[in-house]
Chain A
Amino acid sequence: MMPIWTKSGKKHAVTLLKVQDCHVLRYLSKEESGGKTAKLLVGGKNVSPFFKPESAHQIFKEAGVPRKQKVTTFNVTDDAIIKPGTPLYAAHFRPGQFVDVTAKTIGKGFQGVMKRWGFKGQPASHGQTKTHRRPGAISTNKASKVYRGKKMPGKMGNIYRTSFGLKVWRINTIHDIIYVNGSVPGHTNCLVKVRDSKLPTCKEYNKNPPFPTFFADGDEKLPEDLFDEEIFQFTDPSVTYT
């Protein structure tokens, strides 16, 4: 995470996400996948092929791509279908767009009820016998049962969570890095799924994206860094107020 300053002098914290060897692996039509829209399977970071059986390499061989560590699905409309085997770059997103980021949260292991659910526990003194971090009562007398989904101690973390509506401030086309506002679930160097935001307030900002994706061998030559309009770029002199 890094600080970033706007032209008015305000500071925002930014997370760096690197797009590392992303390729489209397979196209599933609406009937095949059994959903409302067509799906595209996309694979992430390259990994050695020697630790999985041959049957698992089928998809990667068809697409002509080395084995990937993570394979995710994206729901896609019919006009945005991409041929399997095309690489995806960070320039797929542009500064000013809003994005949802999904990842597995940091695993905390088996945790008690105070850390996991934020219960208040019991006082430290004034006669409490061996009861300082316990849940207390778990149901009422009339119910005479414990409801399903009762908050109790258990394994915490290591589940998929999404942060919605994160603004993209900057894109580096050489190293394929996306600078995304705020924090993102997951530990450092973990694998993350970045998607166009589905929030209704962000619809107008997400217009005019590179559609269906940014092709590196195309005609468009992008500069090394793409900045949002409001970012203070370090090539400018210091901010002054009038």
Chain B
Amino acid sequence: CRASGDGKPAKFQPPPKPVIIDKQKQRTERRFLSPEFIPPRGRTDPLKYYMERKDMIQRRKVFNIPEFYVGSVLAVTTADPYANNKSNRFVGICIQRGGKGLGATFVLRNVIEDQGVEVCYELYSPRIQAIEVLKLEKRLDDNLMYLRDALPEYSTFAVNMKPVPYLDHEEIPVNKLQVRMKPKPWSKRWERPKYNIKGIKFELPESKMKEAQKWSQPWLEFDMLREYDTSKIEEKIWKEVNEGLKK
């Protein structure tokens, strides 16, 4: 409608452009900071962690360390002076990620010809030539050491497994698999609350489960001295790592 006042013809207003709302981008960007970047709580000088992070970023620029979690299936090729082709490829499920800084490690487990094999690799070792993620997923626990006492079918993965494709914007699938165990005795008493395992289907009688709850320490979650809030530290390190990788 032309507003009165001037008397002159109003300028042609083009129609507003259609705004495309991309729902994919609207979802919050997923940030993954590898757990070995977060410094442990202690009295060491932060300069030491800064020097280590510089080295870690330098290594990541040359060699790609993909994002993976405990429970994903990886294939690692290392340089081996005693092997045929001077390289060695191992496929397995990651059961634990340990260590901080340059000494960060991860343990891969697989069952080869009915023999369970676990190999501990260092993420930043120069002997590692390639890390591929064959299946990216999370499990209910941070530590899958109980797979040693589970039935071997849960730890077997084909050595020539094809990588499962994974879309960038989706959330990481959580595998809510409940694992069945071999008969007791186990290497550790996984039913006790200190391990806080949610991924085992306990087929023990109710009395045993109740007896295991005797070792529960319900005051631990309220202990304020054990709290370690890493959100602010993670923000800073995330910015630092991103800037370092872009250069």
Contacts and interface: CB of A to CB of B under 8 A. Distances in A.
A237 B80 contact: no
A9 B126 contact: yes
B44 A239 contact: no
Contacts of A177: 47, 51
B51 A234 contact: no
Interface residues of A, number: 22
A236 interface: yes
Contact of A175 (B47, B55, B80, B122): B47
Interface string B119-136: 000101111110000000
A9 B55 CA distance: 17
Interface in B91-147: 101-103, 122, 124-129
A155 interface: no
Nearest to B99: A3
A158 to B, nearest CB: 18
SS of B interface (majority): mixed
A241 B62 contact: no
Contacts of B86: 240-242
Interface in A158-202: 172, 175, 177, 188-189
Interface of A: 2-3, 5, 9, 11, 16, 18, 172, 175, 177, 188-189, 232, 234-242
27 contacts: A2-B48, A2-B51, A2-B52, A2-B102, A3-B122, A5-B126, A9-B125, A9-B127, A18-B45, A175-B51, A177-B47, A188-B42, A188-B44, A189-B43, A232-B126, A234-B62, A235-B62, A236-B62, A237-B62, A237-B63, A238-B79, A238-B129, A240-B129, A241-B79, A241-B80, A241-B86, A242-B86
Interface of B: 42-45, 47-48, 51-52, 55, 58-59, 62-63, 79-81, 86-87, 101-103, 122, 124-129
